[in-house]
């Protein structure tokens, strides 16, 4: 004896497949979005670190350190080469650190803020910030 096919099951299977595919693609796009954001955060962190490193080491053979503007320009060049547009860079070469053996060392702090625009999801723009702080080699 033959059974009649259930008409409602075909539609249910189609609906389950559509929901599963929707969730799967949202997961994939979420992973891509997070990967892009993390990549941009790493670029900002590396740019801040490179700026701080440049700022604390004197020019070869001298005791002369680069100025805040020179450090900021170098960091901006690093960010531009990595495709990070619209970043702001703040350099402070006179940050006083904790006193060690009655000496207050001088630190350089480089703060980088990069705007991140979501590609797949319409959440707007998020500012990703990174900073690096290094001790000045000319400190006593």
pLDDT confidence of residue 65: 83
Question: Which whole-number Å values give the CA distances from 125 to 35, 43, 114, 118, 135, in the listed order?
Answer: 16, 17, 10, 7, 33
Phi and psi at residue 3, to the nearest 5°: -95, 145
The per-residue pLDDT string of the chain (140 residues; one tens digit each, 9 = 90 and over) reads 666 666 556 677 888 989 999 999 999 998 999 999 999 999 999 999 999 999 888 778 777 888 899 999 999 999 999 888 889 999 998 877 777 788 778 888 999 999 998 887 777 889 999 999 998 866 54
């Amino acid at each position: 004896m033959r059974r009649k096919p259930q008409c409602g099951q075909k539609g249910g299977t189609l609906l389950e497949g559509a929901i599963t595919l929707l969730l799967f693609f949202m997961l994939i796009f979420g992973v891509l979005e997070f990967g892009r954001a993390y990549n941009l955060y790493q670029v900002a962190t590396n740019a801040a670190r490179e700026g701080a490193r440049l700022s604390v080491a004197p020019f070869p053979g001298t005791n002369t350190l680069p100025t805040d503007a020179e450090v900021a320009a170098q960091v901006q060049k690093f960010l531009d080469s990595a495709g990070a547009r619209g970043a702001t860079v703040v350099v402070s070469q006179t940050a006083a650190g904790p006193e060690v053996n009655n000496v207050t060392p001088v630190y350089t702090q480089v703060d980088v803020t990069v705007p991140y625009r979501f590609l797949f999801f319409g959440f707007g723009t998020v500012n990703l910030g990174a900073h690096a702080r290094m001790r000045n080699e000319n400190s006593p």
